[in-house]
Amino acid sequence: MKKFEIPAFYKSPIISKVKAARKTQDPRKKDFTPTLLKFGKIEFLIARHFGFCYGVENAIEIAYKAVHNNPGKRIFLLSQMIHNPGVNEDLQSYGIEFIQDTHGKQLIPWEALSSEDIVIIPAFGTTLEIEQKLTDIGVDVKAYNTTCPFVEKVWNRSETLGQNNHTIIIHGKHDHEETRATFSHSNLNAPTLVVKNLAEAKKVSAFILGNIAEEEFSAYFRGKYSEGFNPTRDLQRIGVVNQTTMLATETQEITEFLRETMITKYGEEVIKNHIADTRDTLCYATNDNQSATLGLLEEDADLAIVVGGYNSSNTTHLVELLEEKFTTYFILSEKSISAKNQITSFNIHSKEEEHLFTFLPEKDKTRIILTSGASCPDAVVDAVIVKILDLFGVEADFETITLEF
């Protein structure tokens, strides 16, 4: 796999050693058991897969090249490069400005741009409509397009499904940048519907089986389907693709549920005429990170810490998984941990930060699960380890660190 040139301050002495050792021990990435780091009375269980994925490293490399290759020019990002505040703040420190926020709200009017400006398209991709706006202005939309190749793979699969007369069902959050981009590309070729979870998939199923009226369906999914969408006509032949940061297991669950619906409606002998096999749209990195998190659930630990941006979809799903078993803290960085054994953690249910006291237990040996989202630099995970060791008064020689897996 390609190696990317990313700033040295994103790299780390601890986690880089962990990842290098695991790559040597498990080159085919079949072992999802965590790595154990021992520091006397404190131990860390590090997830087998976490941190920057291919798409994120690709985006960061292109973004910094845009900065260094265009001195004196105005440089813009369509919206956040990735959902990590540290990465975005660093890019802004070079003078990069955001054209929109993550919800698509305009921060800089299109009229303020010129053909001399550099515009970076983020890893989530963008809509065809925005691409056209930039092209009309005279901006080169290909020069610094950092769209993740796996997002583009979903777009290409959607195009093929549309050409074969399938309606596209996107498993995603309808207001997420990536889903908006995928919706735009999918809508070009086929009727498109966004389904967030299994509960919404059950609503689709209820209509297909004739258990709810079209009026109820249309009201329920308002704002989540393409113009002219006709559920009676458009839900006879479907294919499910995913927003690449959603839970892979949930995408599979939704697909299988709708497949069973189609079998009930049309019979198993003709099922291939009514729902496509779209397992090839799952992002390998999201899948690996989630599988590694499931591997963490097989372990015993006192607590879990997940590091990443609060608006990161893939990171939120790691928190959801770990909460099933462990007291789990969702933090931005080592700065979320204070020297007084306090932590600022994001509650994914209330969508608010919580300031918690004595989060580390007082015992002879403490075991902490640690992982991060796909947009979190390994250096931040390193800093979290160092901060926690400081709280315990533990010094460690990272040059001679030993790993167990």
Q: Is residue 1 part of a domain?
A: no
Which pair of tokens denotes residue 264?
Answer: 């009930």
Q: Are residues 278 and 292 in the same domain?
A: no
- Across the chain, which distance is largest between two alpha carbons, in Å? 66
**What is the per-residue pLDDT for 132?**
96
| Residue 178 appears among annotated catalytic residues | yes
Domain-embedded: residue 2: no
Question: How many Å separate Cα 328 from the centre of its chain?
Answer: 19
Residue 323 CA to residue 329 CA, distance in Å, equals: 9
Q: Which residue in 131, 178, 250, 334 is the catalytic one?
A: 178
Considering the domain architecture, whether residues 153 and 255 belong to the same structural domain is answered as: yes
143 domain residue, yes or no: no
CATH of the domain at 185: 3.40.1010.20
247 shares its domain with 165: yes
| 243 plus 254 within the same structural domain | yes
Same domain assignment for residues 25 and 36: yes
pTM of the model: 0.86
Structural domain for 19, as ranges: 8-52+285-404
Give the count of domains, the chain: 3
Contact 78, 100 (CB under 8 A): yes
Q: Of 282, 316, 332, which residue is a domain's last?
A: 282
User: How far is residue 206's CA from residue 67's CA, in Å, rounded to a whole number?
Assistant: 51
Which helix (H) or strand (E) element contains residue 370? strand 366-372
**Are 260 and 297 in a shared domain?**
no
Q: How many Å apart are CA 78 and CA 67, to the nearest integer?
A: 15
Where residue 401 falls (left for φ over 0; alpha for ψ -120 to 50; beta otherwise) is beta
**For residues 94 and 72, is the Cβ–Cβ distance under 8 A?**
no
Helix (H) or strand (E) holding 207: helix 198-208
DSSP percent split of the chain into helix, strand, coil, nearest 5: 45, 15, 40
Residue 330 to residue 319: CA distance in whole angstroms = 7
Amino acid letter at 258? L
pLDDT of residue 272: 94
Decide if 304 contacts 326 (C-beta within 8 A): yes
Query: Concatenated DSSP letters for 299-325?
Result: S--SEEEEES-TT-HHHHHHHHHHHTT
For residue 75, the model assigns a pLDDT of 96
Final residue of a domain: which of 249, 282, 315? 282
Whether residue 3 lies inside any domain: the answer is no
Which residues, listed in sequence order, are joined to residue 328 by a DSSP beta bridge? 304
* Whole-angstrom distance, CA of residue 43 vs CA of residue 403: 11
The verdict on residue 144 lying in a domain is no
pLDDT digits (tens, 9 = 90+) for 54-84: 888 999 999 999 999 999 999 999 998 888 8
Which of 130, 240, 247 has the alpha carbon at shortest distance from 185?
A: 130
Is residue 263 domain-shared with residue 169, that is, in the same domain? yes
| Residue where a domain terminates, one of 238, 258, 282 | 282
Evaluate whether residue 73 is within a structural domain.
Answer: yes
Q: What is the pLDDT of residue 1?
A: 57
Q: Are residues 83 and 124 in the same domain?
A: yes
Q: Which of 212, 211, 205, 217 is nearest to 260 (CA)?
A: 205
Q: What is the dihedral of CA 247, 253, 255, 261, to 10 degrees?
A: -150
Q: How big is the CA angle at 13 (ends 8 and 18), to the nearest 5 degrees?
A: 120
Determine whether 215 is exposed, middle or buried from the number of CB atoms within 10 Å of its CB (0-12, 13-18, 19+): exposed
CA contacts within 13 A on the Cβ side of 43: 18
pLDDT of residue 246: 85
Judge if 157 and 274 occupy the same domain: yes
pLDDT in tens, 359-370: 999 888 999 999
Which helix (H) or strand (E) element contains residue 351?
Answer: none
Residue 363 is predicted with a pLDDT of: 87
- CATH code for the domain of 92: 3.40.50.11270
259 shares a domain with 174: yes
Average pLDDT along the chain, 405 residues, taken 10 residues at a time: 77 88 90 93 94 89 94 93 86 93 92 97 94 96 93 93 96 92 94 97 97 97 96 97 85 95 97 91 83 96 96 91 97 93 96 94 93 93 94 77 77
Residue 201 lies in a domain: yes
